[in-house]
Structures are given as C-alpha cells and as structure tokens.
Amino acid sequence: MIILAADIGGTTCKLGVLSEELTILHKWEIPTQTGQEGERILRDIYESFKKNAAHKHYDMDEVLGIGLGVPGPVDFDKGTVNGAINLNWSGVKHVKDEFEKLSGKPVFIDNDANVATLGEKFKGAGQNEANVVCLTLGTGVGGGIIANNELVHGHNGSGGELGHFKVDQKERFQCNCGLKGCLETVASATGVINLTYHYYKELQFKTSLEEAIQAKEVQAKMVFDAAKDGDEFATYVIRKVASHLAYAISVISVMTNPKYIIIGGGVSKAGHFLIQHIETEYQKMTFKPALKGTQIVTAELGNDAGMIGAAGLIKQYVK
C-alpha cells in the first residue's frame, strides 16, 4: 500500500507518494491556483495524483489514504479549515469531506506546523519519540506539540500555537495576531529585525550592521552572520532572541516534558550557534527534573517535513 500526501502552500503545493514506512517514493510540485476563492486547489491536487499514477507507476487502488497539510486553522476532528488567507479560502471549508468525495479514500488534514512536527517525529530529529515539540522559526513562529504520541489539538484547534504566547512582558512589538509581545515578535526572522532596531536605538553600540540599520535594510541572516563574525552588538541581539526562545521552551518543558525540542525554519539555519545560546539560557531557567534528558536539536527534513508529516497522519490514523 502507498500513501499520498500534499503540503499545500500559498504559491505551490508539494505532492508526494510515500510508502507505509513514510519513505518518499516520488515527489513533485504544482502551482497553487488561488483564484476564484481557491476553489480549484483541491481538485488540482487530486487530478495531479491521478495523472502522475501512470507516469510514476503507482496504482490509485493501492492508496491507503491521503494526508493534507494546510496553512490555516484546522479543526482536526471535523476535518475543516476556518479561513486560510494564503489560499484565498474564507469561512469554513470542509476539506476532509470534499477530498474524500473526490478520491474515495480516507483523508486526514492538519495545519502546516502540526504536520511538519509529525514529519520530524517520524522520520527526522524526533527519532520517533512519544514526546516531541517543534518550533518553526520563519517569518513567523509555528509550533507543534506531540504528547504521548498524539498531536495536541486542544478543544478548538489552537493547541500548539506556540508563536502566540507572551514572552516579552514589556510588549514592545505588535504581533500579526493583534496582541503585543508574542514569541513571534522576538524570535522569528521579523523578531530578529525588531530587536536589532530596538537595541541599536537604545544602546548605541558600535556594529558592522550600522549601515544596514540606518538604511532600514536589516535581514535576520545579516545579524546571525555578523554575530558569527564576532560582532558584539549582533551577538547581544542573538542572545536576546535565544533567551526568549529558552523561556518559551522552559515553559513547554514543564507542560509536556518533551524528549526532543526541534528548532526548524529559516532562522534555524543559524544552527549550532543559535542552539548553543538557547541551551545555555534553558539550563539556567528550567525546572531541573523537567530538563533532564531533554535535547534541543535542529530540524532534519527541511522542506519535506510537511509532506512526510501529512503522510504520517495516514500512518497514524488509518488502520
């Protein structure tokens, strides 16, 4: 038997055919057609699976199920998406029902951060442990919590939205969610930039970033690179970012006591450098029994995490 999976994004959908052990057999991409309120997206995905079956030698009769990762708030039990801005979907969309009707197969859906977490658990840095947490640091901060082998969805699907709890008590920066001081405002790529401007103004450090700061052209990668080169100001900023992340992780540690805390997304490409700073702060501030044996690691699957995790939904929930 095989599993079909799609990681649906605002510009492309990553499609894959996977084995029951979640090994990728084939993968390809199609553009996401968001016109006409994105009404073609699901049909395009299904048609592409069907069309490629002949080319890539798999049989639609052997499909165990289809897993979908969606960039928006998902009600896991109902299989619905409540407004996905990037896909131009508004209102409640019955994705599971629609896709089951199209394909005649069992379908499971979850949000992009959750499927990426499941992917990393099964085939990546999570080493198939029962308790794993993933933080994806990109333009924003995505999160996923797996406790006792189950993704935590909570009563309305907001469980694991780790980008949006307040870590900056001074509430210095506005978050996209409408609140101030969320983890996302100080630990995403945007957060790195926020803190760079903020501390430059406050502390008047000498720094190699000065020109970029004056021109308002700072990018997160520039700050990491400068810090790696020994720039004192950049290092100061990265320490602040790391300390906010450490605080978030220390709270998560006493909640679900994960074995692995996986840091993914573009910002995590800073790799060992960032992890080291997080680790130091984390050790200082976390309840000792909760940090024993917990490891902070970088994600391993890159862009495939979502697709593998979407297939993982089928491995986990279709028997």
For binding to Zn ion (CB under 5 A), which residues are involved?
Answer: 164, 175, 177, 179, 182
Amino acid found at 263: I
Distance in angstroms (rounded) separating the CA atoms of residues 147 and 130: 6
If you ran DSSP here, which 8-state letter would residue 294 be given?
A: -
Q: Are 116 and 136 in contact (CB under 8 A)?
A: yes
Q: CA–CA separation, 60 vs 75, rounded Å?
A: 27
Name the residue nearer to Zn ion (CB basis): 181 or 264: 181
Minimum Å gap between C-beta 10 and Zn ion is 19
Minimum distance of Zn ion from residue 185's CB (angstroms): 7
Contact 235, 273 (CB under 8 A): no
CB of 182 to Zn ion, least distance (A): 3
For residues 214 and 207, give the distance between their C-alpha atoms in angstroms, rounded to a whole number. 11
**Please, which residue, 55 or 170, has the CB nearer to Zn ion?**
170
Q: Which is nearer to Zn ion, 93 or 164 (CB)?
A: 164
Shortest distance, position 84 Cβ to Zn ion, whole Å: 18
Angstrom distance (rounded) from CA 263 to CA 135? 5
Closest to Zn ion by CB, 2 or 195: 195
CB of 92 to Zn ion, least distance (A): 22
89 sits in which H/E element: strand 89-93
Q: Which is nearer to Zn ion, 179 or 318 (CB)?
A: 179
Under DSSP, the state recorded for 144 is: E
